Amino acid sequence: MAGNKIPEDTARREFLQGAGATAVAAMGTPKWMTGFVREKLGITRSAIPGLRAEDADAIRAEIEKRHDESVQRLRTWIKLPSIAAENRGMHEGCELMMQMLREAGFGGVWKMTTDGQPGVFATLDAGAPKTLGLYFMYDVKQADPSEWTSPPFEAALVEKPGLGKVMMGRGAVNQKGPEATFLAALHAIRGAGKKPPVNLVLVAEGEEEIGSPHFPQVVRRPQVLEALRKCVGVTMPFAAQDMDGSVTTYLGAKGVIELELVSSGEKWGRGPRRDVHSSNKARLDSPAWHLVEALATLVTPDGNDPAIEGFTAKARPLSAAEKKMIAIAAKRLDENTAKKGMGVQHWVHDVSWEQALELLVSKPTVNIEGLVGGYTGPGGKTILPGRAVAKLDLRLVPDMTAKESLELLKAHLAKKGFGDIEVNMTGGYDPTSTSADAKIMVAEETVYKRHEIDPVVMPRLAGSWPGYVFTGEPLKMAASHFGLGHGNGAHAPDEYYTIESKNPKVQGIDGAAYSHVEYLYEIAASA
Amino acid sequence: MAGNKIPEDTARREFLQGAGATAVAAMGTPKWMTGFVREKLGITRSAIPGLRAEDADAIRAEIEKRHDESVQRLRTWIKLPSIAAENRGMHEGCELMMQMLREAGFGGVWKMTTDGQPGVFATLDAGAPKTLGLYFMYDVKQADPSEWTSPPFEAALVEKPGLGKVMMGRGAVNQKGPEATFLAALHAIRGAGKKPPVNLVLVAEGEEEIGSPHFPQVVRRPQVLEALRKCVGVTMPFAAQDMDGSVTTYLGAKGVIELELVSSGEKWGRGPRRDVHSSNKARLDSPAWHLVEALATLVTPDGNDPAIEGFTAKARPLSAAEKKMIAIAAKRLDENTAKKGMGVQHWVHDVSWEQALELLVSKPTVNIEGLVGGYTGPGGKTILPGRAVAKLDLRLVPDMTAKESLELLKAHLAKKGFGDIEVNMTGGYDPTSTSADAKIMVAEETVYKRHEIDPVVMPRLAGSWPGYVFTGEPLKMAASHFGLGHGNGAHAPDEYYTIESKNPKVQGIDGAAYSHVEYLYEIAASA
């Protein structure tokens, strides 16, 4: 689901492979230092609050020493895919992540059963005054090996022109790479003889990619709520950097509903219950046409604006402050790169770049993910199908809720004469919102700026992640993503995560791990 | 395509498994006689024109003697599937049929290359005054083995309760079974030391199931046209009997167009050219929605009546004579059996049985065979697909033509703003019409009536077959189907053809072969 990283996002500016990058690559610095410029860090490391220079050096040395171990951890993880949509490798994947958490220093690691795949609750008590919440996922998106240039579950190291050495595999960036990088940070801190500067409370799930249907059952257990209430906020490890090193942060995310609309002769009581010869269309209703007609009522005739009655009524318009953020983002992000990345020539309604970003952030959507009915093979087959399915996702903005939106969809279909069409919600949740002045957001920004990165701040991610369980009732906490590093291809073929960067502005796995060290110290020092 | 036999047709009355059938089965008659009652034939055989009683006996004895050989021929044929939609086994299938034709006595057998799969032209010169045309196909419909109770290409003999021994496999009834049965008739005539009473001119194709796109290239070669012009008509071997032994004949067939509508960002110039993250729906057009909106313009809002501009303008209404045929058919055919066979509760618009048959015969249709776009696997996948496809078939009645109908569809889409949607016609042809007093129709009826079968006569088959190449310009010949015997499941799982019938009214493969012998003599004797 999530796509907490949108693979085609607007921020994919071309990496300018210039003399600077070449010079750094030629300097003979240790491998983890490529893309993590010691000189630059030297200037700023004294500014890391509560982290003495010698400790910083020791932790960085540990990261370097453990480079191969970190890479191997990620490879091991990618090689064991857990795919909830296919109910594949779920038990093994949960156990593996639990083991990795124990090895990284979590003293308590508990499997949390749900009505679906199990979640995980884990705590690391460092005896620190402050506690940080963490959100992990152990599942990955499906992958069709025929679409990949390197097998999706082999986790091969591949040289990517203009970038460096990347690990290619499903989950590389979404989300095993960043999560394994965070664990590498914990190993390094311990390896340097230190305790983490904050306590950690981790909650994880194995159904993120199917819409987190049972994650509330993990989070809303009393002992988990109690532990989370002690946290300053909840962070998801992330590879926030684009190819040019820039970072975009998001003050929340859209909500989502994923569902199937199923039209069948069986439920309808009209047309055939199974596929029959197509000549019978002359005397029989068609469940496939019934579905098409129902779909056509859900959007405006151009297919762009939701037409489900009442669906957008509670959609909160952008505030002046949010519009200003987007106006700034529109100037800083490159329209052509965004269009090129997605292979598009026009935005919807031919709007401007700034308007396209406003829509991306603020517009509720009704999207067709897939259509599948009757004969789907090569050529044709003269059947009148007894059943047809549309897979949809609906994106929600505050103050819309998943529950209300689903009810509105059902009521709309019933009113329009399609009450027989099954609405099978497979996952989804409410939008997420976090204030720009939340402690975790401020800490993020401080770390990024120390790296001379001025993040583009967006009011909201157009993708979705289940942060609402933290930002909504009853916790009402801040929730966000953090981490240097770069990857791409979430939900797409050739997903990758950067291991060794040739670009001094883009961190590889070691530099990304160190950014988590900095972040933890920043949180520890926050007011 | 064809479905010259509609598997769920109206004529599937329940076979009443009564004392008569049991008695016959227990009589100890030779196996080929089950379902082919010697006593009854004894009464009528003297009536077969030009066939002396002792020759009839000799031919029947040959059919009996060669039973295993006939069954093996059909099995060999089914085991070598030629599926044009998958470009599978085409060369081998064509060669095998040519070999079978040579073995059955065709003196000239030529492979006819086309722009697609090759056809076949064959002649058998018996030195007779009359010549009969034959239409064969060597391709079969696709089959998904997971849906079958016996593997579709194993051609297993299976006991079917209430019927007898059947051969189960793709092509068993459509059309290898009836065709192999016709060849068995030729083998028996020769085995009895006789020549066929008529000369034969056979044309065949390997693309019937994809709409016969290149069959005209076979038929319209000068030497083929010349040979066909000598024929009294063209017959396709058929298993015309229902489970209760009854027969329906058709004075033609609907025409058909099979096509794919392809909506893509590539062609549209809007939306993405490949799948992108679904969150981008907020700022991008969707080729999948574009397809849905286009589809919705093709039919009335209930999905039942074609709304393509001009499409039905040339549809000839039923004549008084045709309506009378249907009124009679409505009384003789059982509505509940038809509904039960297809798993339906209501006809379109809740019309009566007679009206449902009128629609079946006379109504042009726009049918969705399949929908396939974006993610079609289990669960969901948050993508905005760059491409979506609808597979349609359009059925045509006189005086509509395939060419004009296709042009009207394209013009309609362009006018409605969907000119970018590709219309890829994969096959199809004009409607077929043959007069009730054509010699081949009269001969058919005579043979059926000799077997005490009073055929239900329908103005037109709702399915389609490429008979237009014979009935249309330039040949303007009669074309029809003939043959006793029974099978079912064309285009469906568990397709079968009856080998040994336990029902005295239903012929197995031997009785069906003998019906072709009778038919050839009837044609030879026709005025």
- Beta strands (DSSP E) in A177-254 are 199-205, 231-237, 248-250, 252-253
pLDDT band at A490 (very low <50, low <70, confident <90, very high): confident
Peptide bond just before B9 cis, omega within 30 deg: no
Task: Provide the pLDDT for residue A211.
Answer: 85
B28 or B226, higher pLDDT: B226
Mean pLDDT of B393-398: 98
Q: Is the pLDDT of residue A179 over 80?
A: yes
Last residue in a domain, options B429, B453, B468: B429
Asked if B152 and B143 touch (Cβ cutoff 8 Å), the reply is: yes
Closest in B86, B302, B359 to A378, CB measured: B86
With beta carbons less than 8 A apart as the criterion, state whether B435 and B400 touch.
no
Indicate whether A238 and A290 sit together in one domain.
Answer: no
B158 and B306 assigned to the same domain: no
What's the pLDDT band for B40 if we cut at 50, 70, 90?
Answer: very low
Strand B156-160 and strand B248-250: the pairing is unpaired
**Please, are residues A445 and A249 in contact by the beta-carbon 8 Å criterion?**
yes
Compute the nearest-CA separation of B272 from chain A (Å): 5
**Any domain includes B334:** no
Q: How many domains does chain A have?
A: 2
Mean of per-residue pLDDT scores for chain A: 91
Same domain, yes or no, for A371 and A464?
no
> Distance (Å, rounded) from C-alpha B345 to C-alpha A99?
57
Contact flag B276-A342 (C-beta cutoff 8 Å): yes
Cα angle value B181/B182/B183 (rounded, 5°) = 90
State how far residue B127 is from chain A, nearest Cα, in angstroms: 41
One domain for residues B294 and B187: no
* Assigned domain for A191 exists: yes
Q: For residue B49, what pLDDT is reported?
A: 84
Which residue from B267, B93, B75, B237 is spatially nearest to B169, judged by alpha carbons? Answer: B75
Q: Is B2 a member of any domain?
A: no
Give this complex's ipTM.
Answer: 0.86
Per-residue model confidence (pLDDT) at position A427: 86
Nearest Cβ partner for A289 among B270, B286, B299: B299
* pLDDT per residue as tens digits for the range B504-514: 999 999 999 99
> Do A175 and A54 reside in the same domain of the chain?
yes
Confidence of residue B341 (pLDDT cuts 50, 70, 90): confident
The percentage of residues in chain A with a pLDDT greater than 70, rounded to a whole number, is 91
| Mean pLDDT in residue range A433-443 | 96
Position B46 scores a pLDDT of 43
CA nearest to B243, candidates B387, B358, B135, B341: B341
Name residues 283-302 of chain A within 8 A of B (Cβ): 283-286, 288-293, 295-296, 299, 301-302
pLDDT band at B177; cut points 50, 70, 90: very high
Amino acid occupying residue B225 = L
Final residue of a domain: which of A429, A463, A480? A429
Residue A340 lies in a domain: no
Q: Which residue has the tokens 């007779």?
A: B128
Q: Which residues, in sequence order, are bridge partners of residue A264?
A: A387
Residues A134 and A205 in one domain: yes
Of B282, B367, B384, the CB nearest to A278: B367
pLDDT at A48: 83
Q: Which residues pair with B392 in a beta bridge?
A: B259, B368
This prediction's pTM: 0.85
* Residue with the larger pLDDT of the pair B40 and B342: B342
CA–CA separation, B213 and A379 (whole Å) = 12
Could you read off the pLDDT of A77-101 as tens digits, one per residue?
A: 999 999 998 999 999 999 999 999 9
Per-residue pLDDT tens digits for B120-170: 999 999 999 999 999 999 999 999 999 999 999 999 999 999 999 999 999
User: Do B195 and B211 share a domain, yes or no?
Assistant: yes
Residue B277, pLDDT above cutoff 50: yes
User: Which residues in A lie closer than 8 A to residue B289 (C-beta atoms)?
Assistant: 299, 302-304, 368
Say if CB B459 and CB B414 are below 8 A apart.
Answer: no
| A347: alpha, beta or left? (left if phi > 0; alpha if psi -120 to 50) | beta
**Cβ neighbours of B380 in A, within 8 Å:** 85, 210-211, 258-260, 369-370, 391, 393, 426-427
Compute the nearest-CA separation of A338 from chain B (Å): 11
Q: How far is the C-alpha of A185 from the C-alpha of A309, rounded, in Å? A: 49
> pLDDT for B412-455, tens place per residue?
999 999 999 999 998 899 999 999 999 999 999 999 999 999 99
> Which chain A residue shows the shortest CA-CA distance from B269?
A345
Q: Which residue segment(s) compose the domain that A403 sits in? A: 255-315+364-429
pLDDT at B41: 41
In the predicted structure, residue A31 carries a pLDDT above the cut 80? no
Amino acid A3: pLDDT: 40
Q: How far apart are CA B88 and CA B67, in angstroms?
A: 30
Query: Residue holding tokens 């618009």?
Result: B349
When pLDDT is averaged across residues B15-39 and rounded to a whole number, the result is: 33
Partner A, chain B 376-405, Cβ-Cβ below 8 Å: 376-386, 388, 391, 393, 395
Q: Does B350 touch chain A (CB under 8 A)?
A: no
| Residue A165 CB partners (closer than 8 Å, separation 6+) | A157, A158, A159, A498, A499, A500, A508
**Euclidean distance between CA atoms A121 and A127, whole angstroms:** 19
Residue B231's φ and ψ, nearest 5 degrees, are -85, 150
Q: Write down the pLDDT at residue B44.
A: 46
Task: Please tell me the predicted confidence (pLDDT) of residue A380.
Answer: 87
CB within 8 Å of B5: residues ≥ 6 apart: B173, B174, B238, B239, B463, B487, B488, B490
Rounded Cα distance, A388 and A273, in Å = 11
Tell me the per-residue pLDDT of B88-98, one tens digit each, with 9 for 90 and over: 999 999 999 99
- Domain ends where: B378, B413, B429? B429
Note whether A368 contacts B: Cβ–Cβ < 8 A: yes
pLDDT on residue B526 = 86
Residue A199 lies in a domain: yes
Q: Largest Cα–Cα distance of chain A, in whole Å?
A: 83
Instruction: Tell me which chain B residue has its CA closest to the CA of residue A389.
Output: B371
Q: Are A407 and A515 in the same domain?
A: no
**What CATH number did the domain enclosing B284 receive?**
3.30.70.360
Q: Which residues 222-251 of chain A have a CB within 8 Å of chain B?
A: none
pLDDT level of residue A379 (50, 70, 90 thresholds): confident
pLDDT confidence band for B19 (50 / 70 / 90): very low
Q: Tell whether A411 is within 8 A of chain B (Cβ).
A: no
B376 vs A49, higher pLDDT: B376
Q: Is B44 helix (H, G, I), strand (E, B) or coil?
A: helix
B188-220: pLDDT as tens digits: 999 999 999 999 999 999 999 988 999 999 999
pLDDT at B48: 83
- Nearest CA to B421 among B429, B413, B431, B412? B413
Mean pLDDT value across chain B: 91
Q: What is the CATH number of the domain that holds B483?
A: 3.40.630.10
Considering the domain architecture, whether residues A209 and A276 belong to the same structural domain is answered as no
In order of B178, B235, B248, B446, the CA distances from B480 in angstroms are 14, 5, 12, 14
Distance CA B338, CA B456 (A): 15
Considering the domain boundaries, does residue B277 fall inside one? yes
Question: Nearest to residue A330, comparing CAs of A418, A457, A466, A462?
Answer: A457
Distance from CA of A493 to the nearest CA of B (A): 11
The predicted structure's pLDDT at residue A418: 98
Q: Which of B35-49, B96-110, B304-318, B382-396 has the lowest mean pLDDT?
A: B35-49
- Average pLDDT, stretch A330-338? 94
Tell me the mean pLDDT in the region A162-181: 97
Same domain? For B408 and B453 the reply is no
If asked whether residues A390 and A495 sit together in one domain, one would say no
Task: Please indicate, yes or no, if residue B347 is contained in any of the structural domains.
Answer: no
My answer on whether B303 and B197 are in the same domain is: no
Single-letter code of the amino acid located at A326: I
Asked if residue A15 belongs to a domain, the reply is: no
Interface test with chain A among B367, B395, B420, by most A beta carbons within 10 Å: B367
